[in-house]
Structures are given as structure tokens and as C-alpha cells.
Structure 1
Amino acid sequence: MYALSSSLVRSSALRQGLQMAAVNRQVSLKVVSVGSTIKDETFFEKNQRLGREMSPHLTIYKPQLTSLLSVMHRGTGLVLGLGVWGLGIGALVASQDISHYVTMVEGLQLSGASLTAIKFILAYPFGYHAANGVRHLLWDTGRFLKIKEVYSTGYVMVATSFVLTAILALL
């Protein structure tokens, strides 16, 4: 390292300082067994021993509209994805065509209110995810990013998702 350093240094005083540092530098090695370096303490015990505080966790935060809507958006996306997979796999392995299963549901003789409620539950992930997706597209254009606007668009989006879902359930 010294040879490389001294060839790059043009100042004679600095070069002389590097030579003196190289002469006075002492390195000692100590051989230790592997067993003595491995500690049996957990991550939390080590942090407690070192006086490190625990990072804030979801359990200490007050739920906010923004975080709840974000989790809900991810959840509805997951439900929609699993629904598409389920319908696809169901179509591949089903022994009957769709008309057979529609006849089975009609045979249950559910009331109109029950059918509408079931359709609402099935349609809500789509209604919510679509409405929130439009909100995210608006954010991508740089609009409604101030905290007051984020909250107001959040409330409008929740209302819109219920209206959209009700329309779908009443079809």
C-alpha cells in the first residue's frame, strides 16, 4: 500500500509522513476459537444489552385514514387476484358448465335481499379497488397530494366505492 501511495503523492513532506506512519504502525493478530465468537443471545437481547430502543411498531400507532385505505387497497387487490385464479382453476377442473352451477344457486331459493347482499359482498372488492385506483391515477398526475386533499379524496373514494358496488349489486 505504501509503494502505491508514495508514487501518487507529489509532496515530499506528505511522502515522508507516509513513510513514518508505515514504520510506526503495528498490527497484532489474536487467534480465538469460533465458539467464543458465537453468542447465544437473541436479536432482542442484544439490542437490550446495547441500550437500543425498539423501533416503533404498528401496535403503537393510531390508525389513520391513509394507512387504512392503503391496507384495504392491497387487500382488495389480493382478493381480486385470488378470485380470478379461483375462477380460472374452477373452470378447468369443474365437471359441469356454468349453467349447472347457476341452476344450483337458483335452487337455494334465496330472497332478493339475500342475493343483493351476496352480490354486494362479491362486488365490493372490485368497486373499492377501481375507485381507489382512479384516485392513485390522479396522484400520479401530481394532483391532490396535500394532506387535506388526500383525506378529502379518501372520503370521496370510499363513498364512490359504495355507490359503484351498489350499482353492480342491483344489476
Structure 2
Amino acid sequence: MINIPTSILCRLGARSAISRSFGTSVVTKSEAKTPIQKFGWEYLKKQRDMKRPIAPHLTIYQPQLTWMLSGFHRISGCVMAGTLLVGGLGFAVLPLDFTTFVEYIRGWNLPCAVTAVFKYIIAFPIIFHTLNGIRFLGFDLAKGVDNIGQVYKSGWLVFGVSAVIALAIVINSCQNKSKAVKTA
């Protein structure tokens, strides 16, 4: 008679022997590569040995006004959207409103030069994004894109007008602040 524990041991031993033989003959998915995967892997190793980055970086391109203004337009839009989202949620959650916040900042009695810098940092992206958006709408209507010289002129115009308008806003607010201090 066959003992039950012996039969269990035989079955387990047979299973482990079978699994061991299959385990060594089966190619794992990480080892099985198509020819294009082998080429790609070898290419990446060669690039890494030459100390090259995996993907091209902005530093290899010569800065041009066209892509710099386009990038700043996207960045300014994202920053403004994030600021509105965080500010809106913040004022919804916090026990104060915008006017209370502004009065709190005014209570610090910062000099006009300090507030002017912050006002310019806030005003310039808003004005630039607006004017450059109008410029891009013109591009969508195929106005001014047929000549690269016109594209550069409109880019410099948007950048310069944005800087001048932002500066005018800051100067006007500082003059209004000094008038308010004199009358008080």
C-alpha cells in the first residue's frame, strides 16, 4: 500500500521538477526583444556612453523671439489660471475677503518702490498675455504670418507695449498713493 504522505510528496516533487525544467527553458518577457528594441537599446547605451541626454534640451537650440514669446504666453496663462484657482479657493475657505487682504497688505506700510516691483510683476504678464493673445488671434486669421519679419516686428511690438503699459499702471498707482497720503 502506498502511504498518503508519500503520494503527496511524489506529486509535489514531480510538479517542482516540471516547473524547474520549464522555468529554465522559458524566455522571460524582459529578455525577449524584437530587432527594433535591440537597436533602440543599443542606441540608448551608445548615447549614454557619449554623455548625451536622452531627449533634446532647450539649451541646444538658439533662442529665438518666436518660441520665447510663445512659451512665455503659455507660462503666463498657466500661472494666471493657477493664481485665480488658488486665490479663489483661498478666499472661499479663509475667513477674509479680498478687500480685507488688500488692507492687511497696506497695513505693512511698504515703500512705493517695493510695491511697484510687485505691481509690475503682476501687471506685465496680464497685459502681455492679453496683447499676445490678440496677436495670436491675428495669426489664426492668417494675418501677418506670411513674412517672418512681420512676425518679429509684431512680437517686439507686443513685448514693448506690454512693458510700457505695465509701467504706466505702476506709476499711476504710485502717484495715486502719494496723493492719498498727502490728503490724509
Aligned sequence identity (%): 30
Counterpart residue type for residue 160 of structure 2: A
TM-score by length of 1: 0.68
Residue 37 (str. 1) matches residue 7 (str. 2): no
Aligned with 1:47 (options 43, 46, 54) = 43
- What is the deviation of 1:160? 1.3
CA distance in 1 between counterparts of 2:77 and 2:99 reads 28
What is aligned with 1:140?
A: 140
Distance 1:37 1:142, change over 3 A: same
CA distance in 1 between counterparts of 2:124 and 2:40 reads 41
Q: Which runs of 5+ in 1 are unaligned?
A: 1-31
Cα RMSD between the aligned structures?
Answer: 3.0
- What is the deviation of 1:166? 2.1
Counterpart residue type for residue 151 of structure 2: V
CA distance in 1 between counterparts of 2:72 and 2:39 reads 32
Deviations, residues 97-146 of structure 1 (Å, cap 9, x unaligned): 33322221111111122222211111121011011101101112211112
CA distance in 2 between counterparts of 1:55 and 1:99 reads 48
TM-score by length of 2: 0.64
Listed as ranges, the matches of 1:112-151 within 5 Å are 112-145=112-145, 146-151=147-152
Q: CA contact under 8 A between 1:79 and 1:125: conserved in structure 2? A: no
Counterpart residue type for residue 154 of structure 1: G
SS of 1:62's equivalent in the other structure is coil
- What is the deviation of 1:57? 4.3
Aligned residues: 138
SS of 1:37's equivalent in the other structure is coil
Distance 1:42 1:101, change over 3 A: farther
Residue 162 (str. 1) matches residue 163 (str. 2): yes
- What is the deviation of 1:71? 0.9
SS of 1:47's equivalent in the other structure is helix
Deviations, residues 36-90 of structure 1 (Å, cap 9, x unaligned): 5159x99864325799x98754332111111111111111001110111022111
